[in-house]
Amino acid sequence: MESFMSSHYDIFIRLSIAMICGMIVGAERIVAHKTAGMRTYALVAMGSSLLVVISQMAGELFVQDGSFDPIRMASQIVVGVGFLGAGLIVLRDKEVVGLTTASGLWVCAAIGMASGFGFFTLAFMSTFLTLFIFVVLWFIEQRFKKFIPGIEKKIGDPSDINE
């Protein structure tokens, strides 16, 4: 009975850490007025963690026949979230938008995978670095856009023809 409770407690911790990391990243996206917010990021991170936990549990069940590879399921998370992210990338007024949000969801999937495998330090470090990218690099990008003319090219600009 102790093993049952400790394993379920461990799973709950893994899922919770993934969810919290996703919520933290999603909160920044809300502040930045972006498409996906706390719930989306939390669901992607926790869902990725859940799929990793499932793959680990299934791997333990089927380890004797050697036909199950838990890493395969983890690799499919990357593909699945890529499709989700592709739906966020749109063309608006000759400008591609949603790339950073889609990339953030993809990273949150990886954060969830780290948490699912029990790599909590990696999950928290990645969350911090993701926030650094979203917040600090945003300010740096704004400086570039302000001081470097033409850095924001629109799709279909006539100047693109000569390049």
Backbone angles phi, psi at 90, to 5 degrees: -135, 165
Q: What is the pTM of this model?
A: 0.72
Backbone angles phi, psi at 71, to 5 degrees: -70, -25
Three-state secondary-structure class, residue 50? helix
pLDDT in tens, 98-115: 888 888 889 999 999 899
Judge whether 117 and 55 are in contact, CB under 8 Å.
no
Of 4, 37, 2, residue with least CA distance to 23? 37
| 14 pLDDT above the threshold of 90 | yes
Higher pLDDT, 131 or 65: 131
pLDDT in tens, 44-84: 999 899 988 888 887 777 776 666 676 777 788 888 888 88
